[in-house]
Structure 1
């Protein structure tokens, strides 16, 4: 079977190529793609790569699929996503408390109120762009609350995130240059925010980070910039993607929407199946730290390894009828939030955000339908939705 370039954004322009991933899982699950690049597509192999950072390093080449200029890679290595233990472990401790059960409980009531406000704003119109007016606004509100970012800055900051994760530039070199420029703009904003929070500390994560102890020292300026960029990006786009792709799935399955309306307590199961079926992240990179084997293939130190979450989440050896959207699936051991030491810190937060938004949609809107097809961003990394126009009645039937 001809296999397209899985690192090319155009490969995903019509959706995830599940037929390609199925063939690879069955015939070449650790597939050599040339120039030391391996595509890992089976659930057990993806799990192995993610839970063995001493062999499959996040630091050596970073976690982004493309090779990066040395100077920019050095900057990315300053955040915990691009670190290995023990440095990763120490940095993760600095932000773990931000996602503690106690802090999430305080955020929970704010999220519930904000979800209701977002739906009420559009209810009387009978139509809206769900991606920009609801799905995108909820995570921006939450991450700004956590970080202590003025809400007036959220759209400007999100525009930088969008440029980093998805590009309309067809030339990959141009796309990379624009993504790096957007990242630098986020870092510059972090510098301004650092100065403001030093002058006026508050009860937020940015103020905490500025006074945090990292093995007997404070975060360096560049490390703080990297932390801010990571946390804002992670909080802003993946939950937007999850909500948009989730609603798109549900619009094709009115029976599931009806069940959720009559029994909202099933929403957590619905969200887990959305995560499995349409994970927001397509791929992450690791770099082989020492010669090893995976799936019977010999990998050399320095080789690039890309793990594919949409493929792992449809592995028939783990999930019965994997191409069927089944909200009653149990257990549901998807890898949408990763695995091992880099398991997503904000997983619980993302689930809560999605549950509040979907709960308000089904409680306050009726007969939800597409107005136009969903418009996705051009990306091979973090899936993103630009527009999702829907229409609805102002109350459930």
Structure 2
């Protein structure tokens, strides 16, 4: 591929990794559809990203080398699996999980010091993501620490580009899920009536799901949730600490929380990118792509596009949410968005209830995460309760 295309940028350059957001802002005006060996074709503008999201026939989601249900599927196969998955995040399912979600948020926030420092990513974000995801899936609390260790090793392997280690980690994670499935099979009618058991009993086109399909669904839900929810908590806590006026406003009027959460995560993305692959020759953003070319949708850039949002760093609580691509758009819009929104609102509500002030720690700025992660790897804060 690289012998046919000129390198427009280097996503792994130190200047880019040190501040992905600033680098993407610059690329959006300089070279909005850019080629690199690492990410192939990267899309920086909102309009170009929307073009891809709305044309799933030209821009296929089947860009994964492994079975990924339904993330890496196109219609009609994608449609059949989405029909199974969506009720798990519907109004009835969310209402049933709401009391447990609120209780976990309050429990995690309750561990904050009375008056002292906290590292928001590990002590708040990761704890909350692990506990809330295991609770939603019906998994035992004994999995919290093994999953935490697994996430840490996966992040290290991803940063190192170690495909062999990533393959081994994927097999290890699948093994954990298969053990959970086997225990439910052994229990028969006595198996717990939870999300994992119900997924096992689903059918598609009149047939039972295969073990591989079940594992893929549960893997996608869990791995995606652990990464994005923990990143979101770090971003939200850092932003409030750095913006005392908004913090005071939200303490006084909690009705503003949903809009504030979506806006903060628009301007500082917890999920940086997704992939697509072209099915035929196409022109986008003035660049000609052949069939079979790989694209990287950069949410962290598209959601800051000046053509749509004006000043990308301006937080507006009255902004029309339809342009916000926090949860994607089109047929592949995130089915778990209702759950994520409930989790984040419950956490932030509990945080504001339990504290009187959140501040940055002088001399210890937050440390940015490196691609493909969004947000931060460290967020040191001082809390007052």
TM over 0.5: yes
Matched, 1:390 2:381: yes
For residue 3 of structure 2, what is the aligned residue in structure 1? none
Aligned counterparts of 2:369 and 2:39: Cα–Cα separation in 1: 28
CA spacing shift, 1:36–1:373, aligned 2, 3 Å = closer
Q: Which of the residues 26, 29, 42 maps onto 1:26?
A: 29
Contact residue 99 and residue 345 of structure 1 kept, 8 A: yes
Quote the residue 1:67 is aligned against: none
**Partner SS for 2:328:** coil
Give structure 2 stretches of 5+ with no counterpart: 1-6
Change in CA separation of 1:341 and 1:58 when aligned onto 2, cut-off 3 Å: same
Q: What is the alpha-carbon root mean square deviation over aligned residues?
A: 2.3
Shift of 1:46: 0.4
Give yes or no for contact 1:242–1:274 (8 Å, CA) kept in 2: no
Q: TM-score, normalised by structure 2?
A: 0.89
User: Is it true that 1:231 corresponds to 2:236 in the alignment?
Assistant: no
Contact persistence 1:53–1:84 (CA under 8 A): yes
Shift of 1:155: 2.6
Q: How many pairs align?
A: 374
TM-superposed CA distance for 1:94, in Å, is: 2.1
Distance 1:389 1:281 in 2: 21
Deviation at 1:274, TM superposition (A): 1.2
Q: Give how far 1:161 is off.
A: 3.2
- 1:155-194 matched pairs, under 5 angstroms: 155-164=145-154, 166-167=155-156, 171-172=160-161, 174=162, 176-194=163-181
- 1:373 partnered with 2:368: no
**1:291-306 counterparts in 2 under 5 A?**
291-306=281-296
Aligned to 2:231: 241
Residue deviations 1:14-60 (CA, integer Å, cap 9, x gap): 23242x4334333432223369921111101101112222111121x
Deviations 1:285-329 (A, max 9, x none): 111111122123221001111111111111111112223233343
State the alpha-carbon separation in 2 of the partners of residues 209 and 9 from structure 1.
Answer: 42
Distance 1:362-1:234 versus aligned 2 partners, 3 A rule: same
Whether the 8 Å contact between 2:28 and 2:44 is mirrored in structure 1 is yes
Gaps of 5+ in 1: 63-72
Q: TM-score, normalised by structure 1?
A: 0.87
Distance 2:9 2:14 in 1: 10
Provide the rounded CA distance (Å) in 2 between the counterparts of 1:124 and 1:34: 49
Matches of 1:385 and 1:25, distance apart in 2: 22
Q: What do residues 224-270 of structure 1 show as CA deviations (whole Å, max 9, x unaligned)?
A: 22222111112212011111111111211101001111111111111
